[in-house]
Structures are given as C-alpha cells and as structure tokens.
Amino acid sequence: MADAKDYYQILGVSRDANEEEIKKTYRKLALKFHPDRNQGNKDAEAKFKEISEAYAVLSDAEKRNAFDTRGQAGVRDTGFQGFTDVNDIYSSFGDIFGDFFGQRFYTPETRAQAGADLRTDITVSFLDAALGAERDLHFQKEIACPACGGTGAKPGTAATCPTCHGTGHIVQRSGQAGGFFSVSSACPRCHGSGTTGTPCAECRGLGKVTKPVAIKLRIHAGAKEGDALRLRGQGEPGLYGGPPGDLYVTLRVTPHEYFTRTDSDIIHEAKVNFITAALGGEIEVPTLRAKAKLKIPPGTQSGQTLRLRGQGIKLRGGKAGDLLVRVLITVPKSLTKRQEELLREFSEAR
C-alpha cells in the first residue's frame, strides 16, 4: 500500500539520521541509479525516482515531521505529491545536483512572471496634501494585449509546446569526468512560454502593448512630502499569466504662502499691533478651510504661540491637530504728535 512506504528504508538510513547522513546516502544511491549511467534501464530510473522522493521528504524538516507522525498521508497534507518524471526531479532540486554530480547550470523555467513595478511623481498643493484630494494620473504603460488576452498567440491558435510539453524549459545531460553535467534552459521553440501558436498581429507575439492610461489617485488627508502611494495591480502586466506589478506614486508638495506644518499641526505667523498685544483683543486668522477668530490675551509677547484646537490636519485613525499661531508684534513706523505724547506719558508712569 502507498501509505506503507518507508522512506527511511528506501534510503537505508536510521530514523534518527541527521541531515548530513541523509544527504551523503542519497548521493551514493543517486550516483548508482542516475539515468545517465543506466541508459534505457527503466528499473534504475524508477529506483532513481523512488530514492529522490525519499530524499525530498527526509531532507525537509516539515515533510519529515509529517511523515514521522502520519506517514505518507501527512506528507500529502504538506502539498508534496512526489515526482512525475526525471526532469521534475532536476527542477525541484535545482542547485542541489551541483553538489552531487559536479558542475551544473540551472535556469528556472520561464513561466508565469510578475510584472514590473512602475514609479512616478506627482506634485500637489499644500492644501490638497493636508485635506486630501483626488487626482487623475495620465501616462503610457504596457498592458496585456486585449486582442490575445496577453498570451501572445492569435486567438484559437494557442497550443501546448510539443518540445517542452508546456514546462517552458528543456534539460540536457551528458557524462563528464565520472560526474554529470546538466543544463536547463528556456525552450527554443516556445521561448519559455510553454505554448506555441500563430503570433498575435496586435502585439506581434509579445502579449502586451503600450497604451495611454488614466488612473484615479486618491490622496489621503495628511499626506506629506515624499509619501509613496501604492496602487496595486497598476504596474506592468505579468508574463505568461503572471500577476501585474504595482504603481508607486511619490508625492511632491508645494510650499504654502503662509502655512507650514509639524505632523498634524499647522503653523501660521500672524501680525498683531502692539496696542492689541498690550491690551488684548481679537484678530482674524486663516485656517485650512476658512477663517477664524483668535483671542489675543492682554500682555501677549512677540514670538508667543497661541493655539486654535482642532484646526490642524486630521490624520488617518487619529484626531485633528491644532493651528499654532505665532504672534509677531508690529510697531508703527510713524506716530502723530498726540500719539507720541501719550506714549511718553505711559513711559513716565511706569
């Protein structure tokens, strides 16, 4: 029965064998049963597959633990289904065969590939960054060809490549100085796509075309200089059915005429005449949305900061900051004779 298969027995190692022992034993058996040393021997090839399956399980901590506790049923639960052919073994082990069989070059099969990410900048005003806004992005980018759906083949002509059987790569092996030299490369017939067919006339077989696109960009309230907004799936299209990349938009924020910013607080400098500063009063100041009245306490000093709560930036997940008004006291450049007399009287009365 399949579930009665004992991988330890297949490799000839004890159940407490360490990783190095398992690897060393597999190397010895793999050299013995390797298909290149047993041309046309189906029994040797079957044994090679069997010991490779055992090694794949016992050399992986998760699979080995699953096998120790629940046998092959546990291994299947990890998603491992064994190997269908010798090429599958080479692809799965990759550079491990470089350790076992001498020099080996391996190029992963060229199949589904994620599309490249795109990056661009956008300039927004101070107020748009502070309050949030929506902008249209217009640019050129590659998209999956609408005529062929990104396959690169004329509709109705796509078929599994007969040379690589849909894997997208071929493996060549030959004996060399008592070892084995294996090369995996993109299939020359389908160029790594795994499919063949009449090239699509719209994209000339590339599976993608360059088109102008327009995307709505939502700028969240509280955005700041240098923020990179990520638009998932708006990058370059993937190859051979792979997912598209993302678009990263970096914000550039133009300075405001009279506002600056510290986190969620807005800073504004307001000029107050020395009489109002001395006696107290009320002035009008701008806010992000409109204008507001600000009380000036008697005796306010130049450089003093007054606060209007809740008139700053509302960050995501938090409360709004404040408007911080830095007072700049102004002194008249010229006085009437009566004003001079009054100030002198005030100075003498101190």
pLDDT at 108: 44
Angle at 176 between CA 172 and CA 178, to 5 degrees: 125
Distance CA 57, CA 26 (A): 12
- List per-block mean pLDDT (blocks of 10 residues) for the chain, which spans 350 residues: 74 92 88 80 88 89 88 81 71 53 43 78 93 88 81 79 72 49 62 75 83 89 90 80 84 94 93 90 92 93 93 85 93 85 79
Whole-Å CA distances, 39 to 164, 219, 344: 21, 65, 116
pLDDT at 301: 93
pLDDT at 347: 77
Is 329:309 a contact under the CB 8 Å cutoff? no
pLDDT at 155: 84
Report all structural domains of the chain as residue ranges with CATH numbers, in order of start.
Answer: 2-83 (1.10.287.110), 118-154+199-253 (2.60.260.20), 260-349 (2.60.260.20)
What is the pTM for the complete model shown?
0.52
pLDDT at 138: 87
Is 129:223 a contact under the CB 8 Å cutoff? yes
pLDDT at 102: 45
